[in-house]
Amino acid sequence: MTSAPGPAGPTPEDPACAARPPAASLVHHRGRIMPAAEAVLPVGSIALRYGVSVFEGIRLYRRADPSGGVRAWLLDQHLERLRNSCRLMGLDEECCAAVPEIVDELVAVNGVDGDAYVRVAVSAANAGGITAPAETALTVSVTTSGRKKWLATGTGARLGVSTWQRPGAHVFPAAAKNISAYAGPRLAVAEARAAGYDTCVLLTAEGLVSEAPTATLFLVEEGRLVTPRLEDAVLPGVTRAWVLAAAAGLALPAAAEPVSPRRLRAADEVFLCGTGAEFTPVREVDGARCGTWPRRPVTEALVDAYFRQARGEDAVTAVRWTAADPRPAEEAAR
């Protein structure tokens, strides 16, 4: 079983990516298609002054059928999360309805014919003080994107447990995918790389494992899949929801539970997942090899199922995105 089955497209490290320009020369911004360099917000906007801008990353996958073109993966779930983020941040969610049509238009005008990444942003574009109501601007771009190197090469990432923390719900809502929520994790990644790690996981104020800066954490214990609870300052990930739903079809017990750093270090397998990363196999945690590395049968089974579904070779698992842990995961924990 391979780490990235199906027609995977070029990776960022593949010379084929460097040989052709990224599919992002034209973007949608505030109701118009324009060159990316012209898609700007005023320097005095609330988005730039106070960081009020929510976003979604959505994957486009080339279908296995040569005539199938590209398809947005789990689009409805991403748009539901985008609407939720808008509501939490006081932004108008009505613009989200136009996203599917805009994505189709950008695919056409940019000639996208392979795997790509869509970024959808809803920002407070007007000037104003901290109490001013937001006037929203929708920005959508599409960029060529293949596998990240950890999945493409199967080498596995080195993961560290960060000294930085994820803020609790009393500080900032974890379910809001807002740009300001990434400022602290950005510092955590810089610290981790300076220490020789590839990335890191952050802890809660209570010392429990939360998530990686841009991805959800999963661990495998004797064939059982475990991920931190949403209440542990975890963004409700769309890929996270897919993994929990798909686990049932693979006869994998799966649950959201409290995860301590010690439990993480003792796991048989560890991986990160998210829209941008897809899947990141982890070979080390805090310098210690993961239990069964390089064997990772559970991770590989999930990766195989993911790409077969994303490319239209298998039926897509029904996924219900919710800002709370879905019932199937709760039932699997019993």
More reliable by pLDDT, 11 or 211: 211
Confidence class of residue 9 from pLDDT cuts 50, 70 and 90? Answer: very low
DSSP 44-86: TBHHHHH--EEEEEEEEEE-SSTTS-EEESSHHHHHHHHHHHH
- Reported as a single tens digit per residue, the pLDDT across 60-105 is 999 999 888 999 999 999 999 999 999 999 999 999 999 999 999 9
Nearest to 331 by CA among 278, 253, 250, 275: 253
Share of the chain above pLDDT 70, in %: 90
Dihedral, CA atoms, 276, 86, 245, 261, nearest 10 degrees?
Answer: 70
Q: Mean pLDDT over all residues of the chain?
A: 91
- Reported as a single tens digit per residue, the pLDDT across 309-330 is 999 999 999 999 999 886 444 4
> Which single residue is written with the structure tokens 């960081």?
51
For residue 117, the one-letter residue type is Y
- Reported as a single tens digit per residue, the pLDDT across 119-154 is 999 999 999 999 999 999 999 999 999 999 999 998
Is the pLDDT assigned to residue 265 strictly greater than 60? Answer: yes
Which residues 6+ apart lie within 8 Å of 186 measured at CB? 213
Mean pLDDT in residue range 256-272 = 97
Mean pLDDT in residue range 101-122 = 97
Mean pLDDT in residue range 251-280 = 97
Dihedral, CA atoms, 104, 107, 111, 117, nearest 10 degrees?
Answer: -160
Name the region of 196 (left: φ>0; alpha: ψ -120 to 50; beta: rest). Answer: left
Which residues 6+ apart lie within 8 Å of 60 measured at CB? 70, 71, 72, 73, 103, 107, 112, 115, 116, 117, 118, 142
Confidence class of residue 25 from pLDDT cuts 50, 70 and 90? Answer: confident
Pairing of strands 157-165, 26-29: unpaired
Dihedral, CA atoms, 63, 66, 69, 75, nearest 10 degrees?
Answer: -10
The whole model's pTM is what? Answer: 0.90
- 109, 277 Cβ separation under 8 angstroms: no
Predicted local confidence at residue 6, as pLDDT: 40
Is the pLDDT assigned to residue 1 strictly greater than 80? Answer: no
The token pair at 320 is 């219900």
Nearest to 134 by CA among 106, 102, 93: 93
Predicted local confidence at residue 13, as pLDDT: 39
Nearest to 110 by CA among 16, 18, 26, 20: 26
Residue 269's DSSP bridge partners are 220
Predicted local confidence at residue 66, as pLDDT: 87
Mean pLDDT in residue range 190-214 = 97
Predicted local confidence at residue 16, as pLDDT: 34
Predicted local confidence at residue 33, as pLDDT: 97
The token pair at 189 is 């990644």
